[in-house]
Homo-oligomer: A and B are copies of this chain.
């Protein structure tokens, strides 16, 4: 018990450094003037190196081994906490400091090149900077693969989604892959028979957009005593569980994207805000992984806020906020706007029906790149071919094609599938929630999100990282993750 308690103390220090890093990152994206960039990257690098030193400390390894022999005195949460500590230690010690540093330098350099190359649509420049990142990512995968006894791709995936395995993903994606092409066609035919959405006339002052966003966040249960809403170029959820910082980006021509972005990040934030308070600053008190995190943002955005019940509640608020009236501002028209299917080029702008195609393509290509089955020069052809096959769209530029996302540039191979696993989980969780509590849907229509939040708190948020994603989904929904609920949701929303 003494060893375990010493470990808790050390991980509390690590958590404080993580929290400081989270705040420095948030500030960098929201508040920092450009001139602060050099010093900020020094601060972040210094604290990141320090964290890595602390977490790979040999004494910590000894303590972890010792504590592992004395688990009979620990309760379930403590045992799970120890397991999560071991997990973090394993991931950190799998890599030599030299590899960590080389990767960090290569990805920072590549990110900068990517920003410029995307602007200039210059694939050659990107590929030159990305090749070393790819090679170092292969080294990381090899090192972790050897340390964990996993395949190379799974060893990377495990960082974002603990316990995530490509064998399961392959099955789920095969299922989706045989369902979606036909479904997209049917949804488009159905959509074509309905009137097109009427445009909403702007401009929409930023302040009014912010006000209505705050109002809806509050209604959903966001605690402003423990968080904020700000502006950044790319929306994200940052901070720590007692100080969650979400961001959005306003356009005065169109409020619909920024607003749905706020609601999406609110889903992430509610997860953080609902993590178990007694396990603050410990690994087991953190969110489980990217699949469940994405499930929470997509549950709020896709399952709830783009649905009829929510729009029934929100439509009058939106009309009031933006002084709108008439048919264009009706619930029915808002629903048509918010459930529009359109096969297109850009993943982050995609609707929920076509989104999985974007992910499946990336999943296939990043595996091929990792295993050296796809020469980097051939990436654009493979990409464009995939987009044509999956969504029937012609890719007119690298910037709107294989260079659109930041993930690969910063070495995040193994991240993309978590988006679609999150979407499947969101559908499965929301279906179970509605079945288990008949008050959830009527509540949403009235703007009362307490029943929904209560269910999410009890079944997802308050679990922290105690269970694996699979265990949590089985406990909450009675089933392992499948495509059934997602497909049923799509059919109900787009074919009926």
> Is residue A487 within 8 Å, beta carbon to beta carbon, of the partner chain?
no
In the assembled complex, which residues on chain B have CB atoms less than 8 Å from the CB atom of A38?
242
* Interface pair A226/B36, CB less than 8 Å apart: yes
* Interface pair B31/A43, CB less than 8 Å apart: no
* Interface pair B19/A43, CB less than 8 Å apart: yes
A46-B21 Cα distance, complex, nearest whole Å: 13
> Is residue A331 within 8 Å, beta carbon to beta carbon, of the partner chain?
no
**What residue of chain B has the Cβ atom nearest to residue A20's Cβ?**
B43
> Is residue A233 within 8 Å, beta carbon to beta carbon, of the partner chain?
no
* Interface pair B281/A33, CB less than 8 Å apart: no
> Is residue A23 within 8 Å, beta carbon to beta carbon, of the partner chain?
yes
The answer to whether residues A228 and B33 also contact, given A20-B47, A23-B27 and a CB cut-off of 8 A, is: yes
In the assembled complex, which residues on chain B have CB atoms less than 8 Å from the CB atom of A147?
none
* Interface pair B242/A36, CB less than 8 Å apart: yes
Q: Mark A27-39, 1 if CB is under 8 A from B, else 0.
A: 1000111111011
**What residue of chain B has the Cβ atom nearest to residue A35's Cβ?**
B226
> Is residue A50 within 8 Å, beta carbon to beta carbon, of the partner chain?
yes
A13-B50 Cα distance, complex, nearest whole Å: 10
In the assembled complex, which residues on chain B have CB atoms less than 8 Å from the CB atom of A228?
31, 33
* Interface pair A19/B39, CB less than 8 Å apart: yes
In the assembled complex, which residues on chain B have CB atoms less than 8 Å from the CB atom of A31?
31, 228
A40-B15 Cα distance, complex, nearest whole Å: 11
In the assembled complex, which residues on chain B have CB atoms less than 8 Å from the CB atom of A47?
16-17, 20
* Interface pair A16/B33, CB less than 8 Å apart: no
In the assembled complex, which residues on chain B have CB atoms less than 8 Å from the CB atom of A50?
50
> Is residue A254 within 8 Å, beta carbon to beta carbon, of the partner chain?
no
> Is residue A409 within 8 Å, beta carbon to beta carbon, of the partner chain?
no
- The residue from B15, B19, B23, B33 contacting A243, defined by CB atoms under 8 A apart: B33
Q: Mark A210-223, 1 if CB is under 8 A from B, else 0.
A: 00000000000001
**What residue of chain B has the Cβ atom nearest to residue A27's Cβ?**
B23
- The residue from B13, B227, B280 contacting A33, defined by CB atoms under 8 A apart: B227
Q: Mark A260-282, 1 if CB is under 8 A from B, else 0.
A: 00000000000000000000110
In the assembled complex, which residues on chain B have CB atoms less than 8 Å from the CB atom of A226?
33, 35-36
* Interface pair B227/A46, CB less than 8 Å apart: no
* Interface pair A20/B24, CB less than 8 Å apart: yes
> Is residue A182 within 8 Å, beta carbon to beta carbon, of the partner chain?
no
In the assembled complex, which residues on chain B have CB atoms less than 8 Å from the CB atom of A40?
19, 243
**What residue of chain B has the Cβ atom nearest to residue A16's Cβ?**
B46
In the assembled complex, which residues on chain B have CB atoms less than 8 Å from the CB atom of A69?
none
- The residue from B12, B16, B27 contacting A27, defined by CB atoms under 8 A apart: B27
* Interface pair B23/A240, CB less than 8 Å apart: no
> Is residue A224 within 8 Å, beta carbon to beta carbon, of the partner chain?
yes
In the assembled complex, which residues on chain B have CB atoms less than 8 Å from the CB atom of A39?
16, 19, 240, 242-243, 280-281
Shortest beta-carbon distance from A274 to chain B in Å: 13
Shortest beta-carbon distance from A52 to chain B in Å: 14
* Interface pair B281/A35, CB less than 8 Å apart: no
A45-B36 Cα distance, complex, nearest whole Å: 24
> Is residue A377 within 8 Å, beta carbon to beta carbon, of the partner chain?
no
**What residue of chain B has the Cβ atom nearest to residue A54's Cβ?**
B50
* Interface pair B35/A16, CB less than 8 Å apart: no
> Is residue A378 within 8 Å, beta carbon to beta carbon, of the partner chain?
no
- The residue from B34, B42, B225 contacting A16, defined by CB atoms under 8 A apart: B42
The answer to whether residues A225 and B33 also contact, given A39-B242, A42-B281 and a CB cut-off of 8 A, is: yes
A50-B49 Cα distance, complex, nearest whole Å: 13
Shortest beta-carbon distance from A289 to chain B in Å: 22
The answer to whether residues A16 and B36 also contact, given A23-B27, A31-B31 and a CB cut-off of 8 A, is: no
Pull 26 A–B residue pairs with CB atoms less than 8 Å apart, ordered by A: A13-B46, A15-B42, A16-B39, A16-B46, A16-B47, A17-B43, A19-B40, A19-B42, A19-B43, A20-B46, A20-B47, A27-B27, A31-B228, A32-B243, A33-B224, A33-B225, A33-B227, A33-B228, A35-B226, A35-B227, A36-B240, A36-B243, A39-B240, A39-B243, A39-B280, A42-B281
For the complex of A and B, 9 pairs with smallest distance between CB atoms = A36-B243, A35-B226, A16-B46, A20-B43, A16-B42, A35-B225, A16-B43, A35-B242, A19-B43
